[in-house]
Amino acid sequence: MSAHHAFKYVRGAIVPKPKVHPGYVITSKFLGGLMWFWIFYRAKQDYPVWFGLKHPWEH
């Protein structure tokens, strides 16, 4: 029984860095920045509710 592997396992060998298309890198950085912007924006808007200083139904 023999298995055909694309790569041979070598203990302690350096793992090669994967090649990623530049479009994926740019898109992931944009979406990550957008996520943090949204989190901080919502924190600015809702911090009294988060910390119990105000009820969400009080306008």
**Non-local CB neighbours of 53 within 8 Å, separated by 6+ positions:** 47
Q: How confident is the model at residue 52 (pLDDT cuts 50, 70, 90)?
A: confident
Residue 23 within a domain: yes
Query: Is 58 contained in some domain?
Result: no
- Domains identified in the chain, total number: 1
Within a domain: residue 2? Answer: no
What is the domain extent for residue 33? 17-52
47 lies in a domain?
Answer: yes
pTM: predicted TM-score of the whole model, two decimal places: 0.61
Residue 24 has pLDDT above 90, yes or no: yes
Q: Which residue has the tokens 């890198």?
A: 25
Query: In this structure, what token pair is assigned to residue 42?
Result: 């919502």
In a domain, 27, yes or no: yes
Q: What is the mean pLDDT of residues 21-49?
A: 95
